[in-house]
Chain A
Amino acid sequence: MTTTSPTLILAGHDAGQLDPSTARLVGAARSLGRAVHVLVLGPAGVAAQAAALDGVAQVLHAEAAALPNAETVARVLAGLLPQHGAVLAAHTLLPRAALPRAAALAGAAFLADVTALLPEGRVVRPMYAGGVLATVQVHGPVLMTLRASAFDAVGDAAAAPVVALPAITADERSRLVGREVATSARPDLTRARVVIAGGRGVGAAEHMQLVEALADRLGGAVGASRAAVDAGFAPNAIQVGQTGKAVAPELYLAAGISGAIQHVAGIKDAKVIVAVNKDPDAPIFSVADIGLVGDLFEVLPALTAALPAR
């Protein structure tokens, strides 16, 4: 990152819509003071959405029908790295698989879950499940995943030019053969303003309805602790914590969650943490802004009835 070459952002998308994290990555990249290019491996419509983001100088577009696998994305990124000093992507699963592979192909640096970009090639990222924050010096070209919620999104502006890349040669060895998508009318867990989460204290899968009812009342997302997922109360996709998802809502309400270090690691960026637990000594109370020692089977329905619908 000592050159003045442009910064390249790998756009996230679902083969139809540009992921909103891309606007935040553009915001982060602009702070580096270099031209911002966005790479779209996908349909032309997504490239057009990326071109409209304020601060984007150019969109590099390669047509891809389905989402390319990590090996293919890595190959494209490694090829583009010589013209771009830094590659940024959201800290989601495809970039987390593709960027380190590209870094090894190119002999470049890789950093994950970066929360701040500092001058002169320094960045901040958590280690030890958020137990410490490290300031890291990057030497030379770098690929990194960013925690998008830590950066402000840019708005729209006049469309930037879209440059077509040569057709990509896919690495077809690993093949996606099926997908189980968790469909939900609720907001995305990692972007929700309100998250209501249940833990082991929920006691049974059918009791997650109490958590869901309050989430729906408040227009929020539903989360679960690892203990609740392991016990089969909730699906993997909504697990919050070190081995699940990191959330940063304005309100996080933990019901029947004891608050293991690994869970707290995933919620420490929440603005307000509310804990409801029967055990007055549960560690969750030491990080909660508002705590209530009580039975979630009484508290959750009472909150659902009393709080205004959104």
Chain B
Amino acid sequence: MHILVPVQRVVDHNVKVRVKSDGSGVDTAGVKMSINPFDEVAVEQAVRLREQKVAMKVTVVACGAAIAQDVLRTGLAMGADAAILVDTAGVTPDALGLATLLKAVAEREQAQLVLCGKQAIDDDLGALGPMLAALLDWPQAVSVNRLAVEGGQVQLGCDADSGLEQWQLPLPAVLSVDLRLCDPRSITLPNMMKAKKAPVTTLAAADLAALPAATTTVLSVVEPPARSGGVKVADVAALIDHLQRLPALQA
């Protein structure tokens, strides 16, 4: 089985994002960028399946500019066998555009399983897995936190609005994973050095698929009204006094 893992390059999750002065977007100049943490979990799960001999090959794929090679090399250092950069020639595809390109890659690579993060921590959209599954006409599951592959079927534990659900899907399938699925391994220096020299296949987006027209455009972004810290009270009695005056606690 060949597993494809799409990885996205996002503002590192420890960075407090700032809005550009003209409000046109988030300032990413000079900001630390990293692999999307949910995608990192997907890479880890894929590599574990290869180590368990359930999968034969793990390929990480990123769509964007050449700079996205850095997150591909993170995937290689974690144990992915191959990396593909889809060069979008300066265009930033939206979710549907990304899914369109990844469908072409999944078919080209004859992948039987796509593992991706349940959302990217920049747009928090969570659309990629279901959109890619739709275009491939494969079954899907989202927010996967347990996974086992048995005889051409995947057995899954997924988040539900109240509690957990167990799902069973035939392969091929697209699964989007939650952070709880597994803990990504830490990358050793020798593996990082090896990954730096590993080949990355570059494909031109235009050779894979025609991008659909953008369906949404971000017009402006603002910082939400900041919650300012309020009062600090001295003791429990003062806290009780404050709470008793809250409308929420009036009988």
Contact = CB atoms under 8 A, between A and B. Distances in A.
Interface of A: 70-71, 74, 92-93, 96-105, 107-113, 122, 126-140, 142, 171, 173-182, 188, 193-194, 218, 235-237, 242-243, 249-251, 261-262, 268, 271-274, 276, 285-294, 298-299, 302-303, 306-308, 310
B165 interface: yes
A112 B243 contact: no
**How many B residues are at the interface, by size bracket?**
35 or more
A130 B179 CA distance: 18
B143 A104 contact: no
Contact of A307 (B128, B139, B243): B243
Contacts of A236: 145, 159, 163-164, 180
Interface of B: 11, 13, 16-17, 19, 26, 95-96, 99, 121-135, 139-143, 145, 155, 158-170, 173, 178-180, 212-224, 227, 229-233, 235-236, 238-240, 242-244, 246-249, 251
A257 B234 CA distance: 19
Contact of B163 (A109, A135, A181, A249): A181
Given A127-B122, A137-B216, A171-B139, A104 B161 contact: no
B17 A272 contact: no
Contacts, number: 255
A126 B124 contact: yes
A20 to B, nearest CB: 13
Contact of A134 (B99, B178, B220): B220
Nearest to B239: A292
A299 B242 CA distance: 14
B175 to A, nearest CB: 10
A132 B221 contact: yes
B16 A131 contact: yes
Contacts of B19: 132
Given A109-B215, A290-B230, A308-B249, A132 B223 contact: yes
B229 A135 contact: no
B233 A104 contact: no
Contacts of A286: 229
Contact of B131 (A71, A104, A126, A274): A104
B239 A290 contact: yes
B178 A299 contact: no
A67 B161 CA distance: 13
Contacts of B140: 70-71, 97, 101, 174
A14 to B, nearest CB: 9
Nearest to A122: B219
Contacts of A74: 130, 134
